[in-house]
Amino acid sequence: MLTGRNILLGISGGIAAYKTPQLVRLLKKSGAGVQVLATASALKFVSELSLATVSNHPVLTGIFPSHEAREDEYTRHIALGEWADAFVIAPATANTLARLATGLCDDMLSLCFLTLRPGKPVLIVPAMDGHMYDSPSVQRNLATLRAQGCRLMEPESGSLASGQCGLGRMPEPETIFEALTGMLAAPEASALCGKSVVVTAGPTREKIDGVRFLSNYSSGKMGFAIAANAARRGARVHLVTGPVNLPTPSGVERIDVESAVEMLEAAQPLFGECDLFIGAAAVADYRPEAPVEGKIKKNEAEMEIRLVRNPDILAEFATNRKLGQLAVGFALETAGGIDYARKKLADKKLDLVAFNVYDGRTSGFEVDTNALTLLARDGGVTELPLLPKEEAAARLLDAVESLLPR
């Protein structure tokens, strides 16, 4: 899969560094050339000899060779920036993130980060204690790197070196390898490559009291499939999701919310910079007007709950978007309803609507397949057969790409 590709692998000083020889093996087995760049701290957690053996290259650490060197060895950081097709940094510690975000270059890892040629993908895999990861300083540095075009993999939850259990674990080498191959396989001709995409997914929960809520059966699978496919095409993807039990797709920035109001608050700051907004979430139309903080006690009298309208997130974006931004929505009906989908397309000023029918078995919520009819603003209609949601997402994005300027 990676035959002829050259990969720089940066390793910084976290306990997860012990996993990196396996990542090198996967890259080499796939046909890639690998040059390891390790910080001095990284080599306290993983053997330099192991890394050199599996990569078939000496491990580079300091800027200056420790021996009498040829002239070209003093400028090898320039050559490596041209040689590499991609740069993976795993694990990326808080210290390394800070140095990369501020442009410091006091070792080969940070120096090659600066010399990598523009347009070549960078995959950063943070791994540290969960409290460190959530700290404002680390989040600020992650935001800086993300804004520079770096792709970030979210750490996983599990047992940590501290003995605690929580967020901060580095994903397994196989997961990192899959993310990298997906990035490198992104079609260069894709109109989504380099674009900013926002996808909403899943249900919303509208609080009745402290233990009850109104919601729906959305699993989030369709929205997550769209986000994953957009990322594989080279897009920078923000996924704003309601409560679902799904892993974050590789290369996708995930924001978890509960209610429709929270979803709007999370998505709104992204409106101005995105090229494409896809509203795949099943946002509740109504919410209780006055939710109760505690638990409502049962009594003999009947209970009435007054509902008020929720904000329309997709319409909010479509109405206020700038020239060139695209808006895509979904219209779900239990039977028929394609005229409703056309009305939604017109009323919300959308560029495309994906109409699907909920039958409880093969299409709609909580299933792995969907049958979509794509309605475009110019009157075009594309009927797709029943497909796995991953393939349906790809076909949807094919249609969206035809609307994007290249």
Average pLDDT value for residue range 373-389: 90
Average pLDDT value for residue range 133-137: 93
Residue 245's domain comprises 196-401
Question: Which domain-ending residue is among 185, 217, 252?
Answer: 185
Confidence of residue 213 (pLDDT cuts 50, 70, 90): very high
Tell me: do 72 and 100 sit in the same domain: yes
In a domain, 406, yes or no: no
Question: Which domain-ending residue is among 185, 209, 226?
Answer: 185
What is the per-residue pLDDT for 72? Answer: 57
Distance CA 96, CA 150 (A): 14
Confidence of residue 298 (pLDDT cuts 50, 70, 90): confident
Tell me: do 107 and 133 sit in the same domain: yes
Tell me: do 327 and 385 sit in the same domain: yes
Tell me: do 291 and 389 sit in the same domain: yes
In a domain, 190, yes or no: no
Residue 233 predicted with pLDDT over 80: yes
What is the per-residue pLDDT for 64? Answer: 73
Q: Are 225 and 246 in contact (CB under 8 A)?
A: no
In a domain, 343, yes or no: yes
Tell me: do 233 and 305 sit in the same domain: yes
Average pLDDT value for residue range 92-104: 96
In a domain, 191, yes or no: no
Tell me: do 171 and 237 sit in the same domain: no
The catalytic site residues sit at: 216
Tell me: do 288 and 328 sit in the same domain: yes
What is the per-residue pLDDT for 188? Answer: 55
Query: Which are the contacts of 25, defined by CB distance < 8 A and separation ≥ 6?
Result: 54
Query: Which of 47-56, 157-166, 259-268 is predicted with the least confidence, judged by mean pLDDT?
Result: 157-166
Average pLDDT value for residue range 43-57: 96
What is the per-residue pLDDT for 93? Answer: 97
In a domain, 397, yes or no: yes
Tell me: do 181 and 204 sit in the same domain: no
In a domain, 1, yes or no: no
Tell me: do 348 and 272 sit in the same domain: yes
Q: Which residues are annotated as a binding site for CTP?
A: 285, 295, 311-314, 330, 344, 348
pTM: 0.61
Is pLDDT larger for residue 255 or for residue 66? 255
In a domain, 161, yes or no: yes
Average pLDDT value for residue range 347-369: 85
Tell me: do 176 and 216 sit in the same domain: no
Tell me: do 167 and 284 sit in the same domain: no
What is the per-residue pLDDT for 68? Answer: 58
What is the per-residue pLDDT for 55? Answer: 96
Residue 332 predicted with pLDDT over 60: yes
Average pLDDT value for residue range 349-378: 87
SS (H, E, C) the chain: CCCCCEEEEEECCCHHHHHHHHHHHHHHHCCCEEEEEECCCHHHCCCHHHHHHHHCCCCECCCCCCCCCCHHHHHHHHHHHHHCCEEEEEEECHHHHHHHHHCCCCCHHHHHHHHCCCCCCEEEEECCCHHHHHCHHHHHHHHHHHHCCCEECCCEEEECCCCCEEEEECCCHHHHHHHHHHHHHCCCCCCCCCCEEEEEECECCEECCCCCEECCCCCCHHHHHHHHHHHHCCCEEEEEECCCCCCCCCCEEEEECCCHHHHHHHHHHHHCCCCEEEECCECCCEEECCCCCCCCCCCCCCCCCCEEECCCHHHHHHHHCCCCCEEEEEEEECCCCHHHHHHHHHHCCCCEEEEEECCCCCCCCCCCEECEEEEECCCCEEECCCEEHHHHHHHHHHHHHCCCCC
Arithmetic mean of pLDDT over the chain:
90
Residue 237 predicted with pLDDT over 90: yes
Total domains in the fold of the chain:
2
Is pLDDT larger for residue 93 or for residue 164? 93
Residue 306 predicted with pLDDT over 90: yes
What is the per-residue pLDDT for 187? Answer: 52
Q: Which residues are annotated as a binding site?
A: 285, 295, 311-314, 330, 344, 348
Q: Are 207 and 259 in contact (CB under 8 A)?
A: yes
Average pLDDT value for residue range 37-43: 97
Residue 73 predicted with pLDDT over 70: no
Q: What angle separates helix 20-29 from helix 173-185, to the nearest 10 degrees?
A: 40
What is the per-residue pLDDT for 41? Answer: 96
Residue 9 predicted with pLDDT over 80: yes
Residue 186 predicted with pLDDT over 60: no
Top mean pLDDT of 140-149, 272-281, 352-361 is at 272-281
Tell me: do 175 and 246 sit in the same domain: no
Token pair 């994953």: residue = 228
In a domain, 85, yes or no: yes
Confidence of residue 48 (pLDDT cuts 50, 70, 90): very high
Check which CATH number belongs to the domain holding 319 and give it. 3.40.50.10300
Distance CA 289, CA 307 (A): 5
Is pLDDT larger for residue 328 or for residue 332? 328
Is pLDDT larger for residue 3 or for residue 239? 239
Residue 5 predicted with pLDDT over 70: yes
Residue 70 predicted with pLDDT over 60: no
Residue 362 predicted with pLDDT over 80: no
Question: Which domain-ending residue is among 158, 185, 212?
Answer: 185
Phi, psi of 357 (to 5 degrees): -110, 130
